[in-house]
Amino acid sequence: MISIENLSVRYPDGTLAINGLSLEIKDGESCALLGENGAGKSSLFKAILGLLPIESGKIAIGGVELTPKNLREIRKMAGMVFQNSDDQLFSATVEDDVSFGLRNCGVPESETREKCASAMEKFLVSHLKGRSPQRLSDGEKKRVAICATVITEPKALLLDEPTAQLDPRARREISELIGNLNLTRLIATHDLDFAKKYCPTCAILRNGKLRARGATSELLADGALMLECGLA
C-alpha cells in the first residue's frame, strides 16, 4: 500500500530529516513507527503527503507515485491525523471541520451532510457538532480530527502521536477507536504499550534511517535495540 524507496528529505534550512529510507507497508497492515524525538517520524509523514519536498527517492501509495501531478490523488488515498489537533482543526464548528474534506472532494452538499452526520455519530462527536473545535478537550479534539480525516474514506491513515497529551481514559478510548479502523495504518508513537497492543508490526527510525523492521513484540523485547534508539 505504501512504498518508500531510498527516500531522502531535507528541510529548507539544510537539515537532513530522512536519509535514504526504504519502507514497505502492506495493504491492511497496522504498523507502528517508533523512534526518539527528531528521528524523522513526522518528517516522513509530511513527505508521504507531499508537504515536504523530496530530495531523492520515491514514494508511492496504492501504486500511484508521489509527483506534483498526482498530489491530489495521493492525498485522497492517504489521510493524516496531526500530532497537534489545533493545527488540524480550524473551522468555526466541528461540523464544518468534519465536512471540510468532503467539500474539497466536490461531494454534493446533501451527501456531505448525510455522510458528516453518520461519521459524527460513529465517532461519538454528534453532540459537539455546533461547538468550536478550539474549545474542546484534547480527547474530543483528537476524536474529531480522526473523524474529519477518515470521512473521505482514505485507503491509508497516517497518525502522528495519536495518544500524546491524553489522559488515561481518553488514551484508551482513542486507542480502541484507532484499533477498530479497518484501514492500512502507519502510526508514529512513543506509547509502546499502544504499539504492542494495536500494531502487530513496527519500524524503528534512527537519525532519519530505518534501523529495524519486524514484529512489534520481538523488536520491543530487544533491550539493546531499544536503548540504542532512545526508546528505553
Shortest distance, CB of residue 168 to other proteins, whole angstroms? 26
Closest C-alpha among 165, 201, 150 to residue 29: 201
Is the CB of residue 75 less than 8 Å from the CB of residue 50?
A: yes
Closest approach of other proteins to the CB of residue 27, in Å = 21
What does the DSSP 8-state code read for residue 162? T
Contacts with other proteins, 47-66, as mask; x by CB under 8 A:
--xxx---------------
Between 91 and 207, name the residue whose CB sits nearer to other proteins. Answer: 91
Q: Does 149 bind other proteins (CB under 8 A)?
A: yes
# of chain residues touching other proteins (CB under 8 A): 32
What DSSP line would sit under 61-128, residue for residue? ETTEE--GGGHHHHHHHEEEE-SSHHHH--SSSHHHHHHHHHHHTT--HHHHHHHHHHHHHHTT-GGG
Give the residue with the Cβ less far from other proteins, 101 or 231: 101
| Binding status of residue 15 toward other proteins by CB under 8 A | no
With CB under 8 A as the contact rule, the residue among 6, 15, 90, 137 that binds other proteins is 90
Alpha helices in the chain (DSSP H): 41-48, 71-77, 85-88, 94-104, 109-122, 138-150, 168-179, 192-198, 216-220, 223-228
The packing angle between helices 168-179 and 138-150, to 10°, is 10
Shortest distance, CB of residue 151 to other proteins, whole angstroms? Answer: 9
- Contact segment (CB under 8 A) with other proteins among 5-13, 27-35, 55-63, 74-82 equals 74-82
The burial of 138, by beta-carbon neighbours within 10 Å (0-12 exposed, 13-18 middle, 19 or more buried), is given as: middle
CB of 103 to other proteins, least distance (A): 5
Nearer to other proteins, 160 or 191 (CB): 160
Residue in the structure block whose three cell numbers are 486507542: 175
Q: Which is nearer to other proteins, 74 or 231 (CB)?
A: 74
Which parts of this chain interact with other proteins (CB under 8 A)?
A: 46, 49-51, 72, 75-76, 79-80, 82, 84, 86-88, 90-93, 96, 100-101, 103-106, 109, 130, 132, 134, 148-149, 152
